Amino acid sequence: MINKQSIWFLTLFSLILVLSVYYITMPNELLLTNNSKQSNEKKENTTSKTEEAVINESEILTALRVEAEEKRTEEINELNKTLNDNKASTEDKNNAFEKIKDLNSIKGKEQLIEKQIKDDFKLNSFVKIDDNNQVRVVVSGSEHNVELANNIMRTVQENFDTKMYISVKFQS
């Protein structure tokens, strides 16, 4: 008797097999033509629009996001190991589950604050919330002044019930 899992497996496997055969048998000229058209278009766009080039987001902010995401993913993976461990006690599993829930909640709050800063101040930012009531905000923008930093701090503090230690750093 075939169960649902094996039917799904066979369906997905056959789909992957058909797509890979299609890709392998596809003529090379088609692939080369598409790639050369795209590369020519990119070269034309970069040469004609060098004055209009605008960087959407600072590389520093991207690096900070990647680093924070890697740490968070590593921590969640460790907690998932605890959840899946048969020898772990129920209390340990509950604590791991609550910690995963808290990490996801913090991630959501960080994204919400970044969106608020983007909407209110038209600035790209990176927000990192630590466990001990610290919020670190890195803002990418040409304007660096105390009044803007204070306004960002007030906006961030509105999202919390308790008093938070908020630091704002400007990157250009």
Specify the pLDDT at position 53. Answer: 45
Specify the pLDDT at position 115. Answer: 93
Specify the pLDDT at position 8. Answer: 87
Q: For residue 139, give the nearest of 121, 157, 165 by alpha carbon.
A: 121
User: 27 in helix, strand or coil?
Assistant: coil
Structure tokens at 88: 């772990």
d(CA 161, CA 111): 18
**Alpha carbon of 137 to those of 119, 144, 156: distances in Å?**
15, 13, 9
Specify the pLDDT at position 20. Answer: 81
Specify the pLDDT at position 46. Answer: 53
CATH, domain 59-171, list 3.40.50.300, 1.10.760.10, 1.10.287.4300, 2.170.190.11: 1.10.287.4300
Specify the pLDDT at position 25. Answer: 80
Q: pTM of the entire structure?
A: 0.63
Specify the pLDDT at position 55. Answer: 47
**In sequence order, what are the residues at sequence separation of 6 or more whose Cβ sits closer than 8 angstroms to the Cβ of residue 111?**
127
151 and 142 in contact (C-beta within 8 Å)?
no
pLDDT per residue, tens digit, the chain (172 aa), is 678 888 888 888 888 888 888 777 877 666 565 555 555 555 555 554 444 444 445 688 888 889 999 999 999 999 999 888 888 898 998 999 999 999 999 999 999 999 999 999 988 899 999 877 899 999 987 778 899 999 999 999 999 999 999 999 988 7
**Alpha carbon of 138 to those of 94, 107, 149: distances in Å?**
34, 16, 10
For the chain, the domains span 59-171
* DSSP classification of residue 51: T
